[in-house]
């Protein structure tokens, strides 16, 4: 009798483990498309991988932006994106990006970094 309860509890634990249930899987972190990125950025908090997904989303977006700024630093630099000062909160920019991506389904299957910079250039262009 006791052994049967342990088997049932072990089975329930396996079903609830990350990667077994939820909208996001480890494969989604490959980010082949803009759609993959939007899925990670908008994963429900009830998903077992929600913390990892949202952190990965922010890391990807911030990392791509910082790389662009580092590549375009210095007197000969020519940045395409100029974030205003004071900077808008990251959560607000993320929401704006998600809204942008949803309004532009033609970018769904493109590289996520391409869609990210289309958004940034449109929303935060550098003044000539």
pTM of the model: 0.78
- Rounded to whole angstroms, the maximal C-alpha distance in the chain is 77
Q: What is the mean pLDDT of residues 26-49?
A: 92
User: Distance between CA atoms of 101 and 111, rounded to whole angstroms?
Assistant: 12
- Tens of pLDDT, residue by residue over 1-37, are 444 444 443 333 333 444 333 478 877 799 999 999 9
pLDDT given at position 11: 36
Q: Tell me what the pLDDT averaged over the chain comes to.
A: 84
- pLDDT (tens digit per residue) in 65-99: 999 999 999 888 899 999 999 999 999 999 999 99
The answer to whether 118 and 107 have CB atoms below 8 angstroms apart is yes
- What is residue 128's predicted lDDT score, i.e. its pLDDT? 64
21: phi then psi, degrees, rounded to nearest 5: -140, 155
Model pLDDT, residue 24: 82
Q: CB-based contacts of 33: which residues, under 8 Å, 6+ apart?
A: 108, 109, 110, 111, 112
């Amino acid at each position: 009798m006791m052994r049967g309860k342990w088997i049932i509890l072990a089975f329930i634990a396996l079903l609830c483990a990350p990667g077994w249930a939820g909208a996001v899987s480890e494969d989604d972190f490959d980010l082949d498309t803009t759609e993959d990125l939007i899925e990670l950025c908008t994963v429900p908090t009830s998903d077992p991988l929600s913390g990892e997904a949202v952190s990965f989303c922010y890391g990807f977006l911030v990392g791509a932006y910082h790389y662009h700024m580092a590549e375009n630093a210095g007197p000969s630099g020519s940045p395409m994106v100029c974030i205003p000062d004071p900077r808008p909160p990251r959560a607000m920019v993320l929401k704006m990006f998600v809204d942008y991506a949803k309004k532009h389904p033609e970018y769904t299957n493109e590289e996520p970094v391409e869609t990210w910079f289309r958004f940034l250039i449109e929303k935060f262009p550098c003044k000539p």
